[in-house]
Structure 1
């Protein structure tokens, strides 16, 4: 049964397991620039604000290495900032890659959304993504294509 007014309005927080809390705090706080919201040293957990205080939160839980399974999540950004993402990652000695895994850090469009995305990894191997929604109607038949190809199709 669907409701005309769904109770879920967005995703507020997600949590991941990390091998070394200090290393992960350095990565998310210093390298990516997220604001530390709260640190519980005894519980070995740190919380970071995403998109500003009160917008969304990421929790980092230190766990034994054998319990750290890689996960995936995406950071929403603007189209303008996504154009800068590859250089942003390189400046931080991080390797960006696209969904095609073609050895480049050129963002690609998912036609079914449509959205432009670029991936990278954290110190524990978690798959992270910068993503922005694009103008236009979803085109799932296009699969994954370049932004240039997407833009050319939007002009037709």
Structure 2
């Protein structure tokens, strides 16, 4: 019955600034009215709702204020360069510098590559792709470069 995730929502403090930011990421503005805007992630399949609010500065936790956008594996090689080219700073997650990202996450029995950054309100954003599924192999988190050299 369930075919995927259709929508996710994030709080923002300034809707106009956030619209500019998400357009820089290449998302298409689907709807805007008052203090809410929706962007297509994949048109007709998934979208992101941004809600201007005075209650944006909630303490961060991965279960809230986090969205992971799927990218294709072939885009991994240039994702860091692309983020830098549009003025978006890569977060240094899990003790890895921005130069050592994307990261390969050991979600055994799966492996995913991901890179993290924040929107203007500190909402956690991630660009992510599966590298392999259903292979039972334990390994430590590493850079994509280290993954390829294994």
**TM-score by shorter chain over 0.5:** yes
Give the TM-score normalised by structure 2.
0.84
Query: Which position in structure 2 is the counterpart of 1:107?
Result: 102
Which sections of structure 2, spanning at least 5 residues, go unmatched?
A: none
| 1:150 corresponds to which of 103, 123, 147 | 147
1:143 to 1:85, Cα distance in 2 relative to 1, 3 A: same
Query: Which position in structure 2 is the counterpart of 1:32?
Result: 25
Deviation of the 1:119 alpha carbon: 0.5
- Computed over aligned residues only, the root mean square deviation of the Cα atoms, in angstroms, reads 1.9
| 1:141 correspondence with 2:132 | no
Deviation of the 1:139 alpha carbon: 4.7
Query: Which position in structure 2 is the counterpart of 1:57?
Result: 47
Which sections of structure 1, spanning at least 5 residues, go unmatched?
A: 1-6
For 2:88 and 2:71, the matched residues in 1 are separated by 18
Task: Answer 1 or 2: which has greater strand percent.
Answer: 2
Deviation of the 1:141 alpha carbon: 2.3
For 1:77 and 1:58, the matched residues in 2 are separated by 16
**Number of equivalenced pairs:** 142
| 2:127 corresponds to which of 125, 130, 135 | 130
